[in-house]
Chains A and B, each alone.
Chain A
Amino acid sequence: MIHVENLVKRYGKLVALDHFNLDVKDGEIFGLLGPNGSGKTTAINCILSLLTYDKGEITLFGKPMSPTNYESKRKIGVVPQNVAVFNELTVYENIDYFCSLYVPDKAKRKPLVEEAIAFAGLSDYRKFLPKKLSGGLLRRLNIACGIAHKPDLIFLDEPTVAVDPQSRNNILEGIKALNASGTTVVYTSHYMEEVEQLCSRIMIMDKGRAIATGTKEELTALIHTGEKLTVEADGLPLSVLEQIRNLPDVLRADYAEGHLKADCKGYGHPVIDVLDLLRQSGVHFGQVYSEPPTLNDVFLEITGKQLRD
């Protein structure tokens, strides 16, 4: 559905996209994950023909994308990062306005607008002006304006920024429902939990480059970090910590504020070894947690920095 090849975009001396490649398949939720400034929005704006670019090829629905490719544009929906609605129009009027750019027939448009209002959970607010809506409702209106015309492909650029947890869950559930109805979704975020929860395939971006692409499982398999162990332990001596670090399945281990944290190697499971060592050393320990590696670990191991740095 989307094919991007060797895309280069420069802002003066800054390389915003460095030979960027992307393939999005029909019917998937594709996540672009990266810290702020990694090039996610620039990539989307280039794909949508909003930005000029220095090099590369962009194909949408099998045709080269350009500002005058109205046929492709008709099948696309966009939810920009900033809320893009008229402050002087009500919820209904806003959705109707943006839907009318795709669906000229008023009779055909009306049920679509109603459906979008119901989808975004804005039925009680249809006559409200945007300034009367909370941040979460405003984001939902922003989404409703982008999806009312039932596009085949939708770009959601950080749609949950500054949204309360309840609205965020509603938005994510809505996106899943959209995808279930056949819409292909390109979703950008710097919240790894969202991307993990939502996307069927993920591209991790940094400094304008795609550093890894695949399913969550494929991405975590790329790194050496395996299971992550956390143990509540009082007064862990340095010598015991060193012994833990030397265990064969432990990649790295640290102790701070009464918590021992150990990253395991690949598919190793050193929980029993660690707990045995603590018991033998007379260290009292409390709760023990274990969690699989996250996309943040993938980003950390590949780039040497946290995703939210």
Chain B
Amino acid sequence: MLANIYWKRILVAVRNRGTLIWTWIFPLMMATLFYFAFSGLNEAELLKNIPVGIVTSDEYKNDTAFQTTLTSVSDPEEGFLSLTEYDTEEAAKEALKGGEIEGFIHLENGSPNLSVTKNELNQTILKSFLDQYVQMKHTVVSLIEEGVADVSQILSLFETESWTEALSLSKNPPSETVSYFFALLAMVCLYGGFQGLDSVSYLQANLSSMGIRRTISPVKRFPMVVFDLLAALTVHMACLLFLLAYLVFILDVDFGANLLPVIVTCLFGSFLGLSFGAFVTAVSRAKEGMKVAVIITVSLTCSFGAGMMVSGINYKIAQTIPLLSWLNPAARISDALYCLYYYDGYSQYFLNLGILAVMALVFSIITAFFLRRQRYESI
């Protein structure tokens, strides 16, 4: 009997068109939209080599040190300049005007002169580079003139290009886009509310005719509720796993090396969504359309707060109104996924899961309080 309740409830959930659209198709569309909208975002964050011209005057041809320096920073893989040679200054000016290059260098009396038409980031980088070159050249020449014999010693001073070492604080490289997908997954978790709504509606005699049939049946209420909700959870988890598989295997979204804790996060999120929907349905006698509207509004609002529509809004909320951030289930789900992606430790991750569990339990207890009633004032 209970197996039949479980299995038939799964059939009902899977064949429900509204559920199909909102929890299966809509998130896939959103994910695909995000994928195409944000696919260039990470690449855009990287610096591209700056196109720069050099006038190959006689002075330049004789300055092998400067030539070597320019060649070393024009490496396509590791350099930051994309060098183009021009025979004359006029030719370089034409290229600058035409926008082919960001600036050009012309050696004059042993010093490199930079000509630019704009004053932006790339021009600033070029100027800093040339200033540094001039300073280093002056230092080396001065040391030689003062009689420092061992040139290798001098050169070793400049071999250490940086006194600091760049270390990544996170397991994975920073990514602008993953947070959108984390928030999307959080939104779908909260859409479990639709399943919770259906489960309670089908059970309560004052909410549906099916509820009348089930309430007057000889089946005890508790096992009926448990098996119904288990079926709803099964279907919603299947939906989340389907979305996760689409994100990971089709869209190639990186959720970190280990997917198991991601799935555990989905399970907690799904349970929360389900209990939230059950809570909304059990405590109110409003029409079903109104309850659906409440679930959608809350889910979308929480997802907005988790950064699904505006990148970084979740951090701003966490900084300005931390309590709101802690109470936002979508932000907790998103943050749990964020922790798995960036951090080595699990303390913050478990804290987020704990908060989700507490919220789900509170909703469940209140719902159980309303569901325990088997006789109604009115139907």
List chain A positions with a Cβ less than 8 A from chain B.
11, 45, 48-52, 67-68, 70-71, 73-74, 76, 78, 80, 82-86, 88-89, 93, 96-98, 100-102, 104, 106, 145-146
List chain B positions with a Cβ less than 8 A from chain A.
1, 4-5, 8, 11-16, 202, 205, 208-210, 212-220, 374-379
Residues in A with CB closer than 8 Å to B5 are: 97, 100-101
Name 22 A/B residue pairs within 8 A (Cβ), A-sorted: A50-B216, A51-B377, A51-B379, A52-B375, A68-B374, A70-B218, A70-B220, A71-B218, A73-B218, A74-B218, A80-B209, A80-B213, A82-B209, A84-B210, A88-B14, A88-B16, A89-B12, A89-B15, A100-B4, A101-B214, A101-B217, A146-B213
Shortest distance from the beta carbon of A9 to any chain B beta carbon, whole Å? 10
Q: Is A83 within 8 A of B216, CB to CB?
A: no
Residues in B with CB closer than 8 Å to A80 are: 209, 212-213
| Shortest Cβ distance from A109 into B: residue | B4
Residues in B with CB closer than 8 Å to A82 are: 209
| Shortest Cβ distance from A49 into B: residue | B375
Q: Is B216 within 8 A of A73, CB to CB?
A: yes
Q: Is A52 within 8 A of B216, CB to CB?
A: no
| A100 CA / B227 CA spacing, docked (Å) | 14
Residues in A with CB closer than 8 Å to B15 are: 88-89
Q: Is B217 within 8 A of A102, CB to CB?
A: yes
Q: A48-B216, A52-B377, A101-B214 are in contact. List 10 more A-B contacts (CB 8 A).
A: A11-B378, A49-B374, A49-B375, A50-B212, A67-B215, A73-B217, A74-B218, A80-B212, A84-B209, A104-B1
| A11 CA / B202 CA spacing, docked (Å) | 24
| Shortest Cβ distance from B220 into A: residue | A70
Residues in B with CB closer than 8 Å to A48 are: 216
| A101 CA / B220 CA spacing, docked (Å) | 10
Q: Is A78 within 8 A of B212, CB to CB?
A: yes
| Shortest Cβ distance from A142 into B: residue | B209
Q: Is A145 within 8 A of B213, CB to CB?
A: yes
| Shortest Cβ distance from B214 into A: residue | A101
| A74 CA / B217 CA spacing, docked (Å) | 7
| A146 CA / B212 CA spacing, docked (Å) | 11
Q: Is B378 within 8 A of A78, CB to CB?
A: no
| A129 CA / B378 CA spacing, docked (Å) | 30
| Given A51-B375, A84-B208, CB of A78 within 8 Å of CB of B12 | no
Shortest distance from the beta carbon of A120 to any chain B beta carbon, whole Å? 16
Shortest distance from the beta carbon of B144 to any chain A beta carbon, whole Å? 88
| Given A84-B210, A89-B8, A97-B8, CB of A50 within 8 Å of CB of B378 | no
Q: Is B375 within 8 A of A98, CB to CB?
A: no
Residues in B with CB closer than 8 Å to A104 are: 1, 4
Among A49, A73, A86, max chain B CB count under 10 A is at: A86
Residues in A with CB closer than 8 Å to B12 are: 86, 88-89
Residues in B with CB closer than 8 Å to A71 are: 218
| A86 CA / B220 CA spacing, docked (Å) | 20
| A89 CA / B5 CA spacing, docked (Å) | 12
| A144 CA / B8 CA spacing, docked (Å) | 18
| A136 CA / B8 CA spacing, docked (Å) | 25
Shortest distance from the beta carbon of A182 to any chain B beta carbon, whole Å? 20
Shortest distance from the beta carbon of A236 to any chain B beta carbon, whole Å? 52
Residues in B with CB closer than 8 Å to A45 are: 379
Residues in B with CB closer than 8 Å to A78 are: 212-213, 216
| Given A48-B216, A70-B218, CB of A93 within 8 Å of CB of B379 | no
| Shortest Cβ distance from B213 into A: residue | A84
| A113 CA / B371 CA spacing, docked (Å) | 30
Residues in A with CB closer than 8 Å to B209 are: 80, 82-84
| Shortest Cβ distance from B215 into A: residue | A50
Residues in B with CB closer than 8 Å to A49 are: 216, 374-375
Q: Is A50 within 8 A of B210, CB to CB?
A: no
| A93 CA / B4 CA spacing, docked (Å) | 10
| A257 CA / B276 CA spacing, docked (Å) | 65
Q: Is B220 within 8 A of A96, CB to CB?
A: no
Residues in A with CB closer than 8 Å to B11 are: 88-89, 93
Q: Is B1 within 8 A of A100, CB to CB?
A: yes
| A48 CA / B214 CA spacing, docked (Å) | 12
| A224 CA / B16 CA spacing, docked (Å) | 58
Top 8 closest pairs, chain A to chain B, by CB? A84-B209, A104-B1, A67-B374, A101-B217, A88-B15, A100-B4, A70-B218, A73-B218
| A83 CA / B210 CA spacing, docked (Å) | 9
| A77 CA / B84 CA spacing, docked (Å) | 90
| A74 CA / B216 CA spacing, docked (Å) | 9
Contact of A97 among B4, B212, B375 (CB under 8 A): B4
Residues in B with CB closer than 8 Å to A98 are: 213, 217
Contact of B375 among A67, A73, A101, A146 (CB under 8 A): A67
Q: Is B376 within 8 A of A52, CB to CB?
A: yes
Residues in A with CB closer than 8 Å to B218 are: 70-71, 73-74, 101-102
| A97 CA / B202 CA spacing, docked (Å) | 13
| Shortest Cβ distance from A94 into B: residue | B8
